[in-house]
């Protein structure tokens, strides 16, 4: 058998932690000297210690750890719990990073106040366009809700069009429609020349013309579109227009490097 110090070193935990596990009945020593009170452990107890540490590190309380161990969790079940917790942690990290990028983008927007790019806005008519379309709902128009919806939509419609043998004849575009409950219908579109058909697992429709659109070019990731949108807003107000609905986003150039993206924003406007 091993002394508590040796067992702690072999199990990669502290002596203090082993004493605590003993006190709450989670991991009793194999033997306690009745005279000295020295605790001794067997190598076989490392198996229970491993499970205690692994389950605790998944975020469970020690009481929950005890309940789980009492149910005789197998190594396979423990691996499954680890995989699930790992996915949850990765999702949380991804959400936190997205939130951080959003905050940084908002700070850059604040830094641009006072020198907006309003001179770059172009007023024009946007012609009608036939597109293949997939749609899904986002919780809101905030970037952290839109991004996880629009990106998979474009990947999926590209896959479906390729499988159907339908060629893409122009740059992709996205448009959005606000719902009464605050959610947003997200539409990912790719220009086509084919007629609508029930044989397709995507919709083919004609987007109407926009008779008067205020447009501006955004360069860089869409996560950093804030200053461009706000320059457009300033131009619309300063020139006596009122916006109608949310913007269309035309993906003019979408290389792997997001810093090289070029997107045209189009907002339908009318005179006030």
- Report pLDDT digits (tens) over 165-183: 999 999 999 999 999 998 9
Can you tell me the distance from the alpha carbon of 106 to that of 112, in angstroms, rounded to the nearest whole number? 10
> Does 190 have pLDDT greater than 80?
yes
Whether residue 24 lies inside any domain: the answer is yes
Burial of 29 (0-12, 13-18, 19+ CB in 10 A): buried
Outline where the chain has alpha helix (H). Answer: 4-11, 15-23, 46-57, 62-70, 75-112, 143-164, 226-238
Can you tell me the distance from the alpha carbon of 267 to that of 175, in angstroms, rounded to the nearest whole number? 10
Q: What is the CATH number of the domain that holds 226?
A: 3.20.80.10
Whether residue 124 lies inside any domain: the answer is yes
Name the more confident of 203 and 101: 203
- Report pLDDT digits (tens) over 91-122: 888 878 877 877 776 676 666 666 656 668 99
59 and 186 co-located in one domain? no
Domain tally, the chain: 2
> Does 76 have pLDDT greater than 80?
no
Name the more confident of 20 and 54: 20
- Report pLDDT digits (tens) over 244-254: 999 999 999 99
User: Is 119 in a helix, a strand, or coil?
Assistant: helix
Can you tell me the distance from the alpha carbon of 183 to that of 246, in angstroms, rounded to the nearest whole number? 13
Q: CB of 191 within 8 A of CB of 133?
A: no
Name the more confident of 77 and 127: 127
Which range of residues forms the domain containing residue 67? 2-73
Whether residue 192 lies inside any domain: the answer is yes
Can you tell me the distance from the alpha carbon of 249 to that of 263, in angstroms, rounded to the nearest whole number? 6
Whether residue 93 lies inside any domain: the answer is no
161 and 237 co-located in one domain? yes
Q: What is the CATH number of the domain that holds 34?
A: 1.10.1660.10
Whether residue 78 lies inside any domain: the answer is no
pLDDT at 117: 62
């Amino acid at each position: 058998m091993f002394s508590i110090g040796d067992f702690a070193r072999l199990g990669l935990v502290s002596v203090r932690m082993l004493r605590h596990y003993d006190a709450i009945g989670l991991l009793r020593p194999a033997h306690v000297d009745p005279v000295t009170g020295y605790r001794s452990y067997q190598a076989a107890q490392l198996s229970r210690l491993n499970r205690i540490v692994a389950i605790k590190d998944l975020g469970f309380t020690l009481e929950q750890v005890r309940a789980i161990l009492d149910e005789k969790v197998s190594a396979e079940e423990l691996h499954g719990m680890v995989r699930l917790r790992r996915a949850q942690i990765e999702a949380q990290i991804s959400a936190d990073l997205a939130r951080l990028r959003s905050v940084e983008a908002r700070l850059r927007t604040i830094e641009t106040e006072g020198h907006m790019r309003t001179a770059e806005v172009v007023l024009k008519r946007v012609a009608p366009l036939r597109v293949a379309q997939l749609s899904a709902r986002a919780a809101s128009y905030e970037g952290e809700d839109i991004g996880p919806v629009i990106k998979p939509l474009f990947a999926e419609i590209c896959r479906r069009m390729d499988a159907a043998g339908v060629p893409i004849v122009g740059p992709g575009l996205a448009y959005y429609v606000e719902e009464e409950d605050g959610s947003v219908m997200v539409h990912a579109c790719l220009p086509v020349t084919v007629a609508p058909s029930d044989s397709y697992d995507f919709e083919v429709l004609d987007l109407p013309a926009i008779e008067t659109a205020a447009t501006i070019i955004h360069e860089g990731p869409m996560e950093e579109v804030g200053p461009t949108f706000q320059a457009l807003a300033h131009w619309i107000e300063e020139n006596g227009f009122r916006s109608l609905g949310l913007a269309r986003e035309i993906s003019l150039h979408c290389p792997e490097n997001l810093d090289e993206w070029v997107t045209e924003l189009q907002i339908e406007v009318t005179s006030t």
